[in-house]
Structure 1
Amino acid sequence: MNIENLTATENISGSWAAFINFTFNTVTVNTIAEESRNDDTRLRIIQLYVQPIVGISGMVANILTFGMLIKSGLKKPSNIIIFGLTLADCFLVISPINVVEFTARFLHSKETANYFGWECSENLARFLFILNRVLTTLHYWGGFAGTSLPVMITMERFIAVFFPIKFASIVTSKKAFLVVVSVWFSIVPVSVVTFGCILIGVRVKNSYLQRQLSLAKKRKRPSLKTTRTLVAIALIFATIHGTYFIMTCAMVDQYLNHTAFSIVFDEIKLILVYVCGSCNFFVYVLINNKFSKILMNMFCKR
């Protein structure tokens, strides 16, 4: 009798263990599924709302920058370089407002979208596919050039600050144009921008403290404003891309494990890149009075 009771007790205990194990596994699976759904929701919010808002704002800001530069004139080497950087920023913010890619990624059924991801005729789908590739290429090209042009800005200001007498002969409009064109096919590290900004900042501060004559101040004031504007652009570039690098290093484990959160985190980092391609307009307007006056005249004509 005792043996039978013991056997029955063991069977009941085994059943409870199996039930508890099943319940635990079910809860774990449900938790993972819920987290996956939450990550998917976050991903859609970022890609369909946050990034497009930043992209549209950046495109409008860059178009306004083109208008200010044209009104200001493209004879100055610094304006030519800024024009090239603005063009790169325009290409960069194409991605978050690429409606063609959105329709293929979100607005279709996998069962009926047989042609390149679009629910339409084969010829139209082929055209959309080619258009999407072109827009994507422009996006990457803009990002590629956008990492090099701040270096050119730094070098231009470096020459202006350290070699003011020879600046006019070294940096000309034609040379600036050739550099901007050639820089679209090169890449330079962010460290050059950061180091150059530090040197320029120290030099500008020392030069400012050494000025004694008011006439000298008036003559160099436009150059000082230009230096402040361009150095601010370079510093913003270095800060944002440095933050991007730090965020990437901090998430190495997530990337190695290919977690869903790493995908969402990638989209968050892209927002930083799009902000970098959108904020230069505000630097021009807030720091340089000439650009702010041009902007006011564009919308408030007397």
Structure 2
Amino acid sequence: MMSVAILRRSGLRKPSNILLFGLVIADSMLQLMTINFSEILEYFGPDIKYPDLCGWQYDVGVNYFLVACAIAFYFISTWGQYVNTTIPMVITLERLLAVYMPMTFKKFVTPRTAKISVMFSFIVWLPWSVYYLTVFNVQVQRSEVMDFTSDALHIEDLDVYNIFYYYVSDILSSWVPISFVSIGCLFIAFKVRRTLQERKKLTAKQESVKWSGRTTVTLLTTCAVFSLTHIIYSFGNYFTQDSPTAVYYLQWQLLNTALLLNASSNFFVYIATNKRLFIIFKQIVSREHSKASGGGEISLLFQRSVNY
């Protein structure tokens, strides 16, 4: 919410802010996995009736409600997880064009192209997120005991699915973005350093030349945090055993922690690397500004949400 308020105050007509706004939405979707109470109850809920079984051991109505919550949270968070890996590639490409093609940069990178890129990032992963959800099945193990797990019987060709999930999908959502972002950041850093050296040669005095590309610093820091956290997640994904036990749940949640660190750290990156965004943040949280603006940006967003 605070990231949305800061970017809105900074101006959503800027292509870079539009890309960051799309990343904030994907981060928020990914963070929904932290409040998926139905999944916690599925693994650690009461098992008084059947201690040997996992799942929801309530009455039928409550069980179906928890199933619906599990489907909603799982779908949205999974979709956000994949989009979260695509937008950093778009951000890196945008900075590459800005650094290497500064004269024609604004012809290619416009608010319209930024919006199209964000929409494409969401749309391209929607079919896979929907299909991935269809391989899960609601299992009624005994009376008043339900479970929401993947079912191999619902997959016609399990080998093809496993190859696509563990290799194609995983590579496209992890190693391809990591490689592209990392290599792109190196090229950008090389170009920036070379530009600074050329500027220093042109100065009359031998003074240190400072670079004021705050937008590039913000975007590249965001991409660097993304690469580090997703490398940890991608390596761990290959060594985590897939078994329907509480041990697997804990292992998987540890891996998800890396993704959540990336999703929740972008706000701190914004205000730490961009002075303008930090000033906007102070204006929003300051008491004087809140009184002068009639409650501040957060109150304005809350009022609009109530009106809608």
**TM-score between both structures, scaled by the size of structure 1:** 0.68
- Letter aligned with residue 298 of structure 1: I
Which of structures 1 and 2 has the larger relative contact order (alpha carbons within 8 angstroms, sep 6+)? 1
Q: 1:50-69, aligned counterparts within 5 Å?
A: 63-69=1-7
User: Which residue of structure 2 lines up, in the alignment, with residue 142 of structure 1?
Assistant: 80
Q: Which has the larger radius of gyration?
A: 1
Structure-2 change in CA distance of 1:278 and 1:259 (3 Å): same
2:98 partner SS: helix
Give the Å deviation of 1:117: 1.9
CA distance in 1, matches of 2:68, 2:246: 30
Q: Is the 8 A contact 2:49 2:57 kept in 1?
A: no
- Letter aligned with residue 32 of structure 2: I
Q: 1:255-274, aligned counterparts within 5 Å?
A: 255=241, 264-274=250-260
Q: 1:102-141, aligned counterparts within 5 Å?
A: 102-109=40-47, 111=49, 117=56, 119-120=58-59, 122-141=60-79
Listed one character per residue, the Cα deviations across residues 24-79 of structure 1 (whole Å, up to 9, x for unaligned) are: xxxxxxxxxxxxxxxxxxxxxxxxxxxxxxxxxxxxxxx21111011111000010
Alignment match of 1:174 (pick from 103, 109, 112) = 112
User: Which residue of structure 1 lines up, in the alignment, with residue 103 of structure 2?
Assistant: 165
User: Which residue of structure 2 lines up, in the alignment, with residue 193 of structure 1?
Assistant: 181
CA distance in 2, matches of 1:162, 1:92: 33
Cα-Cα RMSD: 3.1
The answer to which structure has the higher strand fraction is 2
In structure 2, runs of 5+ residues without a counterpart are 126-171, 289-308
User: Which residue of structure 1 lines up, in the alignment, with residue 162 of structure 2?
Assistant: none
The percentage of counterpart residues that share the same residue type is 27
Structure-2 change in CA distance of 1:124 and 1:208 (3 Å): same
- Letter aligned with residue 99 of structure 1: F
1:228 aligns with 2:217: yes
Alignment match of 1:242 (pick from 221, 231, 234) = 231
Q: Is the 8 A contact 1:244 1:269 kept in 2?
A: yes
Give the Å deviation of 1:258: 10
Give the Å deviation of 1:152: 0.4
CA distance in 2, matches of 1:104, 1:248: 22
1:283 aligns with 2:221: no
CA distance in 2, matches of 1:117, 1:247: 28
In structure 1, runs of 5+ residues without a counterpart are 1-62
Give the Å deviation of 1:98: 1.4
**TM-score between both structures, scaled by the size of structure 2:** 0.67
